[in-house]
Amino acid sequence: MIRRNQRLRREYLYSKSLEGADRAQFEKKRRIRQALEEGKPIPTELRNEEHELRRQIDLEDQERQANDLFLFCCVWRLGDAVPTNIVDNEYATATIREPKIMLTTSRNPSSPLIQFVKWLPVNLNIMFFAPYCCSFLCQVISEIVEACRSHDITDLILVHEHRGKPDGLIVSHLPHGPTAYFGLLNVVTRHDIKDRKTMGKMSEAYPHLILDNFSTKIGERTATILKHLFPVPKPDSKRIITFANRDDYISFRHHVYEKPGGPKSIDLKEVGPRFELRLYQIKLGTVELSEAKSEFVLRPYINTAKKQRTLGA
């Protein structure tokens, strides 16, 4: 089993490297095309490769003209579409099956952490919930990941705490990654929300998602990681979960709504919990791989003269 996983990991990394080379080549040809169309000089860093790139562009144009127009339009325009590979897409099968999530914490979680974590299975489609299950937590992280793979788990979520306060959330997509590391801030549990007694029993229907202001490349990547933790809801579901990005802090809110006076009258109630997430790292691998390549690392003190936006505008 270990050798098989190592082989699959090597194949995954090899396909990733091929995709990176294809994207780099595509970007160079796109810049050449743009310079030629706008009548601008070729970028200095591409002049040594200009002859070969223009030859490839001419070959693509000839192939485009030779292909049948209908088939050509159904696939993509070779000069405009970004190359993708379904084998290399970590979430290629996410729409085929529902997510199956393992949620766990440290070996001896505090009471506030247990109180916070026990509501997450209602918000997510969690199949295994073991905040203090000795059969899982007496093992090291690598063994936990192997157990998740053997049980066909799609995502592993680990919640960390510091002095009784939840302060970290790790989302690791299986079997090969990616793994997103979030900081947890301003955690308010369901018990601490005002007027919680009037909320009633929390619905377990699959929620609708609102993803606001994830416009950059890293923002889209983060939104993909978060949204695939939730199954597809039914159209009549009255639960709403919101991930709203403001200044690279992702606010999590959970509401239910009713229509007491008809379709134009909506009563919105917050049912909790609520918290903020701060993304600080994305790794191209699962959580136990310390040597995995980092796709994104937050460096807040670099280039502070101008305020930067990582996730959205």
**Closest listed residue to residue 201, CA positions, set 249, 239, 229:** 239
Nearest-angstrom CA–CA distance, 11 and 167: 35
pLDDT digit string (tens) for 175-197? 888 999 999 999 888 777 766 55
pLDDT attached to residue 283: 92
pLDDT attached to residue 12: 67
Domain spans in the chain, listed from the N-terminal domain onward: 1-69, 101-297
pLDDT attached to residue 87: 41
Per residue in 87-103, is it b (16+ CB within 10 Å) or e — as a string? Answer: ebebeeebeeeebbbbb
Burial of 201: CB neighbours in 10 Å, binned 0-12, 13-18, 19+? exposed
Nearest-angstrom CA–CA distance, 139 and 248: 34
Q: What is the pTM of this model?
A: 0.73
Nearest-angstrom CA–CA distance, 305 and 313: 17
Q: Report yes or no: 178 and 169 within 8 Å, Cβ to Cβ.
A: no
The radius of gyration of the chain's CA atoms, rounded to the nearest angstrom, is 23
Q: Is 225 helix (H, G, I), strand (E, B) or coil?
A: helix
The alpha helices in 67-137, defined as continuous H runs, are 69-75, 111-117, 120-123, 134-137
CATH assignment of 101-297, given 3.40.50.10480, 3.20.20.100, 3.30.70.60, 3.40.1280.10? 3.40.50.10480
Q: Is 181 helix (H, G, I), strand (E, B) or coil?
A: strand
Nearest-angstrom CA–CA distance, 293 and 274: 31
Query: 13 is written with which tokens?
Result: 């990394």
Torsion of CA 35, 38, 39, 42, to 10 degrees: -10
pLDDT attached to residue 20: 64
pLDDT tens for the chain, 313 residues long, are 566 666 666 666 666 666 667 777 788 888 888 888 888 888 888 878 877 878 887 777 777 666 544 444 444 444 444 555 444 467 877 777 888 888 888 778 888 888 888 777 666 666 556 554 444 444 588 888 888 888 888 999 999 998 888 999 999 998 888 999 999 999 888 777 766 555 556 777 889 999 999 998 899 999 999 999 988 888 888 899 999 999 899 999 988 888 877 767 788 888 878 899 999 999 988 998 888 888 899 887 665 555 567 887 6
Q: Report yes or no: 190 and 271 within 8 Å, Cβ to Cβ.
A: yes
Q: How many CB atoms lie within 10 A of CB 69?
A: 9
Residue type, 42: I
